[in-house]
Amino acid sequence: MSELRALEAAGVSTYCCAVSWAEVFAGLRAGEEPATEAFFEARGDVALTAHVGRRAGMYLARYAKSHGVDVPDALIAAAATTAGLRLWTMNRRHYPIEGVRFHDPGAR
């Protein structure tokens, strides 16, 4: 969380997409909603457009069987790559997709 605060203090915009909202909110415990919603509301939105959907479909065709990429991860990767953003994740193994650039904490 300190890395995120440092990025924001430096004026770096952060984003999320609807899939991230859905995945996180599906696993919330009672009482976590307000802080989680505030976290997501502080980010910009990356829209899941038809272009994102097509790219996610291409990722699935190439990586689903060989690497186990699923629809949510393909959509998140496609949203990031289509918008030219770096993906910040604790599960890089979910994204073996060529062209996905990752956020590296500490690097600016």
Indicate whether 105 pLDDT > 80: no
Instruction: Read off the pLDDT of residues 18-27 as tens digits, 9 standing for 90 and up.
Output: 999 999 999 9
SS3 16: strand
User: Which of 50, 48, 56, 45 has the alpha carbon at shortest distance from 99?
Assistant: 56
Q: Identity (one letter) of the amino acid at 82?
A: T
**Architecture of the domain spanning 2-94:** 3-Layer(aba) Sandwich (3.40)
pLDDT on residue 84: 96
CB contact set of 106 (below 8 Å; sequence gap of 6+): 3
Retrieve residue 12's tokens: 């770096």
Phi-psi category of 99—alpha, beta or left, where left has phi over 0 and alpha has psi -120 to 50?
A: left
Gap between the terminal Cα atoms of the chain: 16
Q: What is the pTM of this model?
A: 0.89
